[in-house]
Amino acid sequence: MLKEIRMQKIKKICYEEKQYHLSDLSETEVKLLRRTIEIAREAMESGNHPFGALLADADGNILMEQGNAEVTSPNCTGHAETTLMRRASETYSYSEMEKLILYSCCEPCCMCAGAMYWGHLGKMVYACTEAALKEVTGNDPRNPTLDLPCRAVFACGQRNVKVVGPIPELFEEFLSLHRGYWDQATNK
């Protein structure tokens, strides 16, 4: 028996789009973002898609690093941020996670943003927008980008996740890893 579900109320999602610049970040934050791009390069060299993330404390000490593991795992949820949040949730309590910062080379997809939300992450910093990435990847089935900014995902929640990003000065540094990568027939 088929049932029809009608939404009684459409929720209006409000969030502020904000762009940051390298000059808005501390030297440590810039260094950590650049490290995520290196982690993405390492992920690509190990046979995975070029994405990387790290978890740091408020002083900038790196606690965990994670490259994309989707191809070699194989696991469709093997995105760098989701895998990192899964690992972090096995190590840190919710109250500890609220004080930690996740750095990512790219804006998290809705799955990764959800993992950050459910993992009680306090803050995330990212370099490149998902929209800019989509301009490079196109409609490649290996990266079926959803047009859903992470701020929109967080705005639907009951707790705040502070977001810093994008950082346009880092776009090319990150996107250079993706140019040509998605055209290669050997990539899974």
- 54 and 102 Cβ atoms separated by less than 8 Å: yes
Nearest to 81 by CA among 109, 40, 112: 112
Residue 36 to residue 54: CA distance in whole angstroms: 6
From the candidates 29, 65, 70, 81, which is the catalytic residue?
81
Residue 81 designated active-site:
yes
Nearest to 171 by CA among 43, 3, 19: 19
Cβ neighbors of 175 (< 8 A, separation 6 or more) are: 128, 132, 133, 136
Q: Is 126 helix (H, G, I), strand (E, B) or coil?
A: strand
Residue 188 to residue 185: CA distance in whole angstroms: 8
Catalytic residues: 81
